[in-house]
Amino acid sequence: MFIWNNFYKNIQQDIKLLLYMLGVFCLFRVSFIVLMKSYISAAATMNDYGMALYYGLRISLKSAGLMVLTSFILCTLCCSLLHGCVKSQKLKRLRFILGTIYVFVLSVLFYARIPYYEQFHMAFNQLLFNTFKDDTTALFYTLVQQYDLPIRLLMATVTTWALSKLLKIWLATRTYHVPRFTKAYQNIAFRVGMLIAIYYFSIFLRFGGAMSYGYNVDWENAGITKDELLNEAILDDVQALYRAYALHERLVNSTGLALNPDKITEYAENVAGREVGSATIDDYMERTADGPLIPRPKHVFLIVSESYANWPLLPEYKDLNLANGMKSIIAKPNAAYVKTFLPNGMATIAGVMGVVTGLAEVNLYANYLPESYKEPYATALAPQFEKLGYHTDFWYAGPASWERIQDFTLAQGFDEFHGIGDFKDIESNIWGCDDKYLYRAVAENIKNQPGLHMILNTANHSPYSVDLQREGFDESIVTGGLPDSQKNDKELIKKLGHHWYADKTMTDFINSMQAKYPDSLFVVVADHADRLNIEASPRMYERYGIPFIIYGKGVTKNIFPEDAAGSHINITATLLEMIAPKGFTYYSLGESLTRGSSLGMNYNFWINSGFIGRTDSNVVEALQKENDTGDKPSYEDVKDEIESLRAVSWWREKYGKIMKKGSEAVD
């Protein structure tokens, strides 16, 4: 009984420490916002402030929980096991010592965050890990002279002294004995219930005020306001340091490809298909348009739809009714559909990078590379459309901070970026708003000038929180096409319902925009597949294939050859060959689908009109299409072509425009 009473009292002390540390995080967050208010844009609303404080509170639950975990192990568990020993009293004092140390560290970080933000417009990031590669003596004098290091340390010390006094008073407040019941089973039930409550409360802390990963708040999805400083304020200093570490690890481990730098000219000429004789790698991707295939559209809507796999469009899955909307678009005489298409990678950001930059996925995280922020790549989508007179804007249903998507797309030439923080009167989860609100925002902000509008939705993604019943989804829509063993699988049906919702809202948007702007061109592609299948072991084609659909004035069923195949890196060339004037110079790693692109590739797979295979082995599967599947390609030929495409992308992102021999490049 004594052990349980001691455990119960120490748990109360841990809760006090948790609440106190959470209060410290909130205090520093509010102070940061107040002190840095000059950086807040005039567009920020009270709702933005409220969201910053709310999501900041949630993400700080993780940080505070991590701190209290140490107290729980060293104080609560050890005190309970050592009850009655002299050491147990020392362990009780350890909680206050730990709290004081935490407060001091957070105070130092708080006073360091201010000049860091003034310099980098971010809370701590991966650049911290470059610090001691510099001249440390010069760095020390800079900290002392320019950033008033002694004064900031003094302020951190004074802040710690004041806050530790409050902590001592707070920890000294009353604790309660464990309840005692007359029946033994009641005491046992209470203790078991307490342990279960601790377990679930730990999960609640781990996921930032949620009970599952689908509603998790972290540094990648926390920036949901329209203001950059408020988005940074959401991250407490512990989370900002974790972001810095995570980004550093990504870049350290992003070694790219095991290719021979001395062969880069050979790889580049393979991509060009001719001798170029230039030391600039972009010259090998220069192309000249043959002339427009359709009337010049005033608006181009490029929709990258979350997890919109190709398999629901196949005849064998028609009874699931998951893609009836896009099937109706494809059936129109002015629509074309390529079934043999692959995403740039297996994650959303890889797909976005492929479409935005036109470069292949090579495990370098281009959205974090310095090269991506010097200027847009020559192959980038937006600047080439701007040369044709189009205003370019990027629309994302989620937070601007996710994977630096706002910074990245703007750096790659888009004129505007709009994220969830810009949308009003919406319903959303932590990853983004429901698709209908995204499409509504796009529709309401179309400018009276030629425009390229790239749209990235999120609803067809965990935690699958759309109110499907309200949106008109009836489970019988899909259950008729499910095997008997899956007809009562509610979780699967909910996921299928979100695919249905994504298809419905996308179709409604296309139809409404086509009616309002009949001279528009609509392009539909997915970011990736491989998230949802009804088979336990689907074929590669069903698992990884995505659709490529175009619809608009002048489009015909035969605009693409029957053997057309491609991936995200072929999109820019395809669109420019459709609308650009004859002789227009553009840059593209991939060939246009209209000019004979018959191979799609990404980091793991390749596809053509008859087969799909792995890039790292000779594993190949037939697509089993109704038409002639053609001849199986040579693995070596496929490997050589893919290696060249990836090598050029790797060099351009890692070393820049100028080609040198391997030793010179590395130096």
Instruction: Tell me the average confidence (pLDDT) per consecutive run of 10 residues in the chain, 667 residues long.
Output: 74 91 95 90 88 92 91 79 57 85 92 80 69 44 54 89 93 84 83 88 87 80 84 91 80 62 87 92 97 98 97 95 97 98 92 97 87 96 98 96 92 97 88 95 95 97 91 94 92 95 98 97 95 86 96 97 96 98 98 94 91 88 65 83 92 90 47
Please name which of 113, 14, 114, 124 lies closest in space to residue 64, comparing C-alpha atoms: 14
The H or E element spanning position 137 is helix 136-145
Report how far residue 173's alpha carbon sits from residue 193's, in angstroms, rounded to the nearest whole number.
25
CB 526 within 8 A of CB 546: yes
Q: What are phi and psi of 547, to 5 degrees?
A: -90, 155
- Alpha-carbon torsion 147, 153, 155, 159, what sign? positive
The C-alpha torsion from 479 through 482 and 485 to 486, rounded to 10°, is -60
pLDDT at 119: 67
CATH superfamily, with its number, for domain 261-666: Alkaline Phosphatase, subunit A (3.40.720.10)
Give 303's strand partners.
455, 524
**In the chain, where the domains are located:** 2-252, 261-666
CA distance to 244, 307, 351, 489, 613, per residue, from 529 (Å): 30, 5, 10, 21, 16
CB 477 within 8 A of CB 500: yes
For strands 611-614 and 605-607, give the pairing: antiparallel
Distance of CA 22 to the CA centre of its chain: 27
Distance of CA 448 to the CA centre of its chain: 31
In degrees, rounded to 5, the angle at the alpha carbon of residue 350 between the alpha carbons of residues 346 and 355 is: 120
CB 578 within 8 A of CB 292: yes
The one-letter amino acid code at 282 reads: D
DSSP state of 526: E
Tokens of 315: 């005849």
- The helix/strand count (H/E) of the chain reads as 22, 16
Report how far residue 623's alpha carbon sits from residue 544's, in angstroms, rounded to the nearest whole number.
12
Q: How many CA atoms lie within 13 A of 273 on its CB side?
A: 7
pLDDT at 550: 98
pLDDT at 195: 87
Report how far residue 570's alpha carbon sits from residue 581's, in angstroms, rounded to the nearest whole number.
19
Q: What are phi and psi of 116, to 5 degrees?
A: -65, -45
CA distance to 289, 456, 495, 532, 636, per residue, from 499 (Å): 37, 15, 7, 9, 37
Give 585's strand partners.
288
- Report DSSP letters for 439-469, one per residue: HHHHHHT--SS-EEEEEE--SSSTT----TT
Please name which of 344, 396, 297, 365 lies closest in space to residue 570, comparing C-alpha atoms: 344
Residue entry with tokens 């309200």: 470
The one-letter amino acid code at 580 reads: A
CB 112 within 8 A of CB 30: no
SS (H, E, C) 209-243: CCCCHHHCCCCCCCCCCCCHHHHHHHCCHHHHHHH
DSSP helix/strand/coil, 332? coil
pTM, whole model, 2 decimals? 0.79
- Exposed (0-12), middle (13-18) or buried (19+): which is 181, by Cβ within 10 Å? exposed
Residue 295, C-beta contacts closer than 8 angstroms, at least 6 positions apart: 519, 553, 554
DSSP state of 578: H
- Exposed (0-12), middle (13-18) or buried (19+): which is 624, by Cβ within 10 Å? exposed
pLDDT at 221: 81
Distance of CA 110 to the CA centre of its chain: 27
CB 83 within 8 A of CB 140: no
Report how far residue 602's alpha carbon sits from residue 615's, in angstroms, rounded to the nearest whole number.
8
Strands (E), 191-316: 286-288, 299-305
pLDDT at 253: 63
pLDDT at 139: 39
Please name which of 325, 387, 322 lies closest in space to residue 572, comparing C-alpha atoms: 387
- Exposed (0-12), middle (13-18) or buried (19+): which is 657, by Cβ within 10 Å? middle
Report how far residue 41's alpha carbon sits from residue 37's, in angstroms, rounded to the nearest whole number.
9
Distance of CA 293 to the CA centre of its chain: 35
pLDDT at 43: 81
CB 307 within 8 A of CB 511: no
Please name which of 297, 357, 292, 295 lies closest in space to residue 522, comparing C-alpha atoms: 297
Tokens of 13: 């002390």
- Exposed (0-12), middle (13-18) or buried (19+): which is 136, by Cβ within 10 Å? exposed
